[in-house]
Amino acid sequence: MTISYILLDHTADLGIRVTARTEEGLYTNAVLALADLLSGPLSRSGARPLSLAASGEDRSEMLINLLREQLYLFTGEKLLVAGVEGLALSPGSLEARVLAVPYNPEVHEIRHWIKAVTWHQAEAEQRGGVWEARVIFDV
Amino acid sequence: MNIDSLKKLSDTCYEIPKTGGMRVPGRVFVSRQMAKDMEADQSLLQVANVACLPGIVRASLAMPDMHWGYGFPIGGVAAFDAEEGVVSPGGVGYDINCGVRLAGTRLEASEVSLRLRDLVEALFREVPSGVGVGGNVKLSGKDMKKVLVKGARFACEMGMGDEDDLLRTEEGGALPGADPELVSDRALTRGRDQLGTLGAGNHFVELCAVDEVYDPDAADAYGLFPGQLAVSIHSGSRGLGHQVCDDYLATLSRHVKTLGIELPDRQLACAYVKSEEGRRYLSAMACAANFAWANRQVLLFRVREALMHALCVGPRDLGLSMVYDVCHNIAKLETHLVDGRPRKLCVHRKGATRAFAPGHPAVCEPYRAVGQPVLVPGDMGTCSYVLKGSETAMAETFGSTCHGAGRRLSRSAAMKKARGRRIDRELADKGILVRAAGRGTLAEEMPEAYKDVSQVVEVVHAAGISTRVARLVPLAVIKG
């Protein structure tokens, strides 16, 4: 799993800056970055395919909503994302096809106990030919 | 923004002048010595951002433990007119009714000093900790709804507390107006097995000793005496509260666009208090707040069981009894004097504690002559304080004060600073035993990650918005 993101310093919480060459790649990398923050790389053995759908009036809202869905997958359904198989983007909405594995506390060590995806300083946009996003998580 | 650009009102209070979209000034309780921590992050800007919201009254306030949050700063207090103002989920935070509960015992700390290791292990076994960790109270759908309405009383009805506990809990352990129908299935799912669990991060159970008493009359009223063994619990509404905040932030971030309110930060999404959207949030928030009070009530029960078992004593010999339970992430409808007239306000305290004065009817009868106890935990290596509410707080901060030490370092900076060190051993060398569920927790929560709580308390004491009653020092800490 190759992920293009860096951690941002925030006094209380945890932020990431994600980059990609395409808009689809940006959302994909954001999902992979959150997966990495939660559990690190996971084996895809026994993973099952799932869809994460999100919509939004702008890109940052769509990004936040996508990551909210992914986080709920873990906090509510105890599933961790092991990979992204594809992402379909249409105006105002997207659908990510992910591979998910059941969380097993005996096997998976949670790196960061993320409580929520915040809207604080959230952005997703293209700058100089590079797609960039910033998200701050409540931990 | 730095302190030199602010207007000095006193040695402990500085004003951010009203500029741009600010409807009122910002007012920051801080000493010059502590100001550099605030200057290092974006918290002062966040105080100014909050001042832009409709219906804000008097000033956007910040306590000396303030640090950069998301939307509102942590350590912020803002009151909005109940008729013309707004309520904002971001002004409460994700961990709705995160709070602190303090209970005293009949024992002196010196009586258990040789048994501390046993006590720590017993507490660690008995108190489930870690963010996603469930407990052994499994709630049916029907019981969950009862918890959301009854709060701490539900736990007491299950035999995990009594009327005296409720009396000594802010709001009696339940906010009115809670409607479980306004809580999403996702939130209910996340909370279903989390009652009586600690959570992770800065949440803790701490065995501590009353180290110094500054106000003997108040300490006596609160049941505190020098050398006493006490227990402090810091936890909140767990996944249920996080999901309630998340759900309503998403809803209100769309709703606010229909109101034509310009937001400097999307995390400040809000609705008018009297609107249907505002009422729905406040009602769901009350459910989460009530879950948190029930949670701390169950946690205290677990602590009592663990201590009795480890010390081989009965409830009478242990004498574990509530001092008080305060929330520090909440929005409440309260009446305050503004320009000499009573006015109904929606007071947001995000990382701030209510500090009501002597004589206030909301202060429980046993403490009414003294004032409301305020519980201010520090980091796990230094000390905590019990303060009392004051008339100055009523006049200047809508009856509010600080809530803790406040973070100074980011989590990644703390991890870097802790690299190659054994924080548990460093604390053990100081006579403090710690156990944590998460491997990185002790590093992220190391004492240097926090401001000096004594300096924070010095500011609020000097400003008069709450005054020192007693200091407690940690003996053993269980972290999530």
Of A121, A113, A135, nearest in space to A30 by CA? A135
Of A108-117, B47-56, B119-128, the range with the highest mean pLDDT is B47-56
Torsion of CA A104, A110, A114, A115, to 10 degrees: 40
A131 at the B interface (CB within 8 A)?
no
- Distance, in Å, from the CA atom of B336 to the CA atom of A39, rounded to the nearest integer, reads 47
Q: Dump the DSSP string for A62-108.
A: HHHHHHHHHHHHHHTT-EEEEEEEEEEEETTEEEEEEEEEE--TTTP
Instruction: Name residue, tokens 């870097």.
Output: B416
Which alpha helices (DSSP H) does B312-435 contain, by range?
315-318, 391-396, 411-418, 423-429
Predicted confidence (pLDDT) at residue B454 exceeds the cutoff of 60: yes
Please indicate if any CB of chain A lies within 8 Å of the CB of B190: yes
**Chain B 318-377, residues with CB within 8 Å of chain A CB atoms:** none
Q: How far is CA B65 from CA B31, B83, B319, B402, in A?
A: 11, 30, 33, 6
pLDDT, one tens digit per residue, over A83-132 is: 999 999 999 999 999 999 999 988 998 888 899 999 999 999 999 999 99
Write out pLDDT tens, residues B340-396: 999 999 999 999 999 999 999 999 999 999 999 999 999 999 999 999 999 999 999
Q: Which residues of B touch A9 (CB under 8 A)?
A: 410, 412-413
Nearest-by-CA chain B residue for A110: B438
Is B328 one of the annotated active-site residues of the chain? no
For residues B414, B16, B394 and B338, what is the CA-based torsion angle, rounded to 10 degrees?
A: -150
From the list A74, A116, A121, which residue is nearest B94 (CB)? A116
Q: How many CB contacts within 8 angstroms connect chain A with chain B?
A: 100
pLDDT of residue B283: 98
Q: Does B36 touch chain A (CB under 8 A)?
A: no
Cβ proximity of B81 and B57 under 8 Å: yes
pLDDT in tens, B190-228: 999 999 999 988 999 999 999 999 999 999 999 999 999
For residue B408, the chain A residues in CB contact (below 8 A) are 11
Task: List the 84-103 stretch of A: residues with Cβ below 8 A of B.
Answer: 103
Pick B266's closest partner by Cβ from A11, A109, A119: A119
Please choose, from the candidates B12, B136, B24, the residue with its C-alpha nearest in 3D space to the C-alpha of residue B64. Answer: B12
pLDDT of residue B133: 61
Quickly tell me which residue has 């666009």 as its tokens.
B257
Name residues whose C-beta falls within 8 Å of residue B443's C-beta, 6 or more positions apart in sequence.
B414, B415, B417, B418, B419, B421, B423
Cα dihedral A112, A116, A117, A119, rounded to 10, equals -130
Q: What is the mean pLDDT of chain B?
A: 95
Residues B317, B307: Cα–Cα separation, whole Å: 11
Residue B46 contacts A, CB cutoff 8 Å = no
Cβ–Cβ gap A113/B94 under 8 Å: no
Best mutation target, B74, B411, B412, B444, to test chain A (most A CBs within 10 A): B411
Is the Cβ of B267 closer than 8 Å to some Cβ of chain A? yes
Determine, for residues B249 and A119 on separate chains, whether the beta-carbon distance falls below 8 Å. Answer: yes
B405 near B65, Cβ under 8 Å? yes
Task: Report the share of chain B in percent with pLDDT over 90.
Answer: 89
Q: Is B403 on the interface with A (CB under 8 A)?
A: no
Top residue of B50, B65, B131 to mutate, by most chain A CBs within 10 Å, is: B131
What ipTM did this prediction achieve? 0.93
Report the distance separating Cα B428 and Cα A56, nearest Å: 50
Q: Which whole-number Å values give the CA distances from A119 to B242, B245, B437, in the listed order?
A: 14, 12, 29
Whether B189 and chain A come into contact, CB under 8 Å, resolves to yes
Residues of A in contact with B445 (CB under 8 A): none
Per-residue tokens: B360: 């206030």
Task: Report the gap between the CA of B417 and the closest CA in chain A (Å).
Answer: 14
The Cα of A119 is separated from the nearest Cα of chain B by a number of Å equal to 5
The shortest C-alpha distance from A113 to chain B (Å) reads: 6
pLDDT value at residue B438: 74
Tokens of B95: 């961990």
Per-residue model confidence (pLDDT) at position B161: 97
- Residues contacting residue B420 through CB under 8 Å, at least 6 positions apart: none
**Is residue B336 helix, strand or coil?**
strand
H/E stretch holding B369 reads: none
Q: What is the mean pLDDT of residues B166-186?
A: 98
B240-280 pLDDT, tens digit each: 999 999 999 999 999 999 999 999 999 999 999 999 999 99
User: Which candidate from B70, B266, B410 shows the least CB-CB separation from A138?
Assistant: B70
B142: exposed, middle or buried (C-beta count within 10 Å: 0-12, 13-18, 19+)? Answer: exposed
Residue B177 gets the label, from left (phi > 0), alpha (psi -120 to 50) or beta, of left
The β-bridge partners of B324 are B102
- Full-model pTM: 0.96
Nearest-CA distance A85 → chain B (Å): 26
Q: Which pLDDT score, from 0 to 100, does residue B433 have?
A: 96
Express each pLDDT in B277-336 by its tens digit. Answer: 999 999 999 999 999 999 999 999 999 999 999 999 999 999 999 999 999 999 999 999
Q: Which two tokens stand for residue B113?
A: 């000093």
Q: Are A120 and B71 in contact (CB under 8 A)?
A: yes
Chain-chain contact of A14 with B412 (C-beta, under 8 angstroms): yes
Q: Tell me the CB-side half-sphere exposure of residue B322, using CA atoms within 13 A.
A: 29
The confidence score (pLDDT) of residue B84 equals 97
Q: Considering only alpha carbons, which residue of chain A is nearest residue B71?
A: A120
Q: Which of A9, A72, A115 sits opposite B412 (nearest CB)?
A: A9
CA B239 – CA A114 distance, rounded (Å): 11
pLDDT confidence bin for B129, thresholds 50/70/90? confident
For tokens 């020098």, name the residue.
B226
- pLDDT by residue (tens digit) across A2-51? 677 999 877 777 899 999 999 999 999 999 999 999 999 999 988 999 99
User: Using the 8-state DSSP alphabet, how is residue B356 labeled?
Assistant: P
Say how many CA atoms lie within 13 Å of B449 toward its Cβ: 25
Query: Which residue is catalytic, options B234, B255, B348, B403?
Result: B403
List, for residues B5-37, the tens digit of each pLDDT value: 899 999 999 999 999 999 999 999 999 999 888
List the single range of A36-40, B130-134, B196-200, B414-418 with lowest mean pLDDT. B130-134
Residue B200 pLDDT: 85
